[in-house]
Amino acid sequence: MLGRILKFNWFSFLSMVALAVIGVIFIKSAGEARTITALHDAWRVHAATALFGLIVYFTLAFIDYRKILDLFTTPYFLISLIMLVAVLAFGSKVYGGKRWLWFFQPSEIAKPAVILMLAKMLGRTDRPTNGFLDLMKGVGIVAVPALLILAEPDMGTALVLVPTALAMLLCARVCLKVLIPLLVAGALSAGLVLGAVHKAETTTDPELKEKIYKYLPLKEHQRARLRTFLNPEADPYGSGWNLRQSMISIGNGSLSGKGIGKGEQKKLQYLPPSVSMNDFIFCVLAEETGFTGSAVMLSLFLVLLLSGLWTAVRSNDDRGRLVAIGVMTLVFVHIYINIAMSIGLMPITGLPLPFISAGKTFLVTLLAALGIVQSISLHREEKI
């Protein structure tokens, strides 16, 4: 028992709990401006979900992760795929996308499935290194669910899977002589798309603009988001509204913030209430607690991430290391994209902020994933 307590990653656990509490506080704050009871009381749901998630966390933490990988991963992955197909067939349409099945979002559940499946495949002990075939398999494990999510369409969620899988492939040194050139090509083509959009938006020749967009598979709202990212001032009352209001909220917080519950942008609903407790919850936090609060929150996230990676380092098992790497990268990508988009460093992408944004499926999924990481910490074999 004492060994268990010593092996328990307290930094990871406590920072996680602290972040969930912060989430409850600011969902309550964001909900105060809403009259609909369900939204006004969303913080209770968040708290209850977190408590439920903690049960899942501890359950998974005390099960040996190796058992999970051996017994449950393949069925879990397959069920995720079935649900992703099901959501396309029977899902309910919200804001122009089919993302919901009954009360949950299958795309959130698919995220750890991909991580676990990749870890299981790449960390196999029967072969000393991973070759080209493993790379192809890995790409397949990511690409199939990613394409299904993209079809919902939910580009943000599909996109997070890419860096997560990449981090795992790179750390596992899977066929680097193919992977690295592939990466460079990917980065170049992303740059090319941005450049093309920039050219299309700044050109005065409507024919050229039409020609460029003919060859770019971008939807109108995606184009608008890229446009806003490249030139935030162009349309402050249209596509640029959210970004502009997000930055005003964050800037208005200045060093020490307006005080919890006193955010003006939120109260006067310049920060659109429809997004203030989800993807833009950070704006509420930043306005009400200022740079100080933002820095505290970032520090907590950093403690969580580094303690997770520390778990990976302490583990002697490739599969354990890969699971921890995957989960931590997934969390990092969410944090990074969410905050970077709200201060204009990245195009607007609908991604929640881990533990803080309201969202039941994502919260439970995260707690479950971190429970597995805790299990890696608890069930590690001490190095001799």
Contacts with another protein, residue ranges (CB under 8 A): 32-33, 35, 122-123, 128-130, 167, 170-173, 244, 247-248, 250-255, 258, 261-262, 264-265, 267-270, 272, 286, 290-291, 294-295, 298, 301-302, 305-306, 309, 312-313, 316, 318, 321-322, 325, 328-329, 332, 335-336, 339-340, 343, 345
Q: Token pair for residue 6?
A: 């010593």
Least gap, CB of 179 to another protein (angstroms): 13
As a whole number of angstroms, the longest Cα–Cα distance in the chain is 72
Least gap, CB of 270 to another protein (angstroms): 5
Q: Token pair for residue 289?
A: 């607690």
The size of the chain, in residues, is 384
Least gap, CB of 240 to another protein (angstroms): 13
Q: Which residue do the tokens 């993209």 mark? A: 150
Least gap, CB of 245 to another protein (angstroms): 8
What one-character-per-residue DSSP string does 143-180 give? HHHHHHHHTTT-HHHHHHHHHHHHHHHHHTT-SHHHHH
Which pairs from 310-313 meet CB under 8 Å and 24+ separation? 310/9, 310/11, 311/9, 311/12, 311/373, 311/374, 311/376, 311/377, 311/380, 312/376
Whether residue 113 contacts residue 157, with contact meaning beta carbons closer than 8 Å, is answered with no
Name which of 149 and 333 has its Cβ closer to another protein.
Answer: 333
Least gap, CB of 32 to another protein (angstroms): 8
Name which of 15 and 329 has its Cβ closer to another protein.
Answer: 329
Q: In sequence order, what are the residues at sequence separation of 6 or more whose Cβ sits closer than 8 angstroms to the Cβ of residue 172?
A: 122, 123, 130, 318, 322
Least gap, CB of 332 to another protein (angstroms): 5
Q: How far apart are CA 227 and CA 229, in angstroms?
A: 5
Q: Token pair for residue 352?
A: 């929640």
Q: Token pair for residue 45?
A: 């749901």
Name which of 52 and 270 has its Cβ closer to another protein.
Answer: 270
Name which of 99 and 111 has its Cβ closer to another protein.
Answer: 111
Least gap, CB of 216 to another protein (angstroms): 28
Element holding 98 (H helix, E strand)? strand 97-100
Name which of 1 and 313 has its Cβ closer to another protein.
Answer: 313
Name which of 192 and 295 has its Cβ closer to another protein.
Answer: 295
Name which of 38 and 255 has its Cβ closer to another protein.
Answer: 255
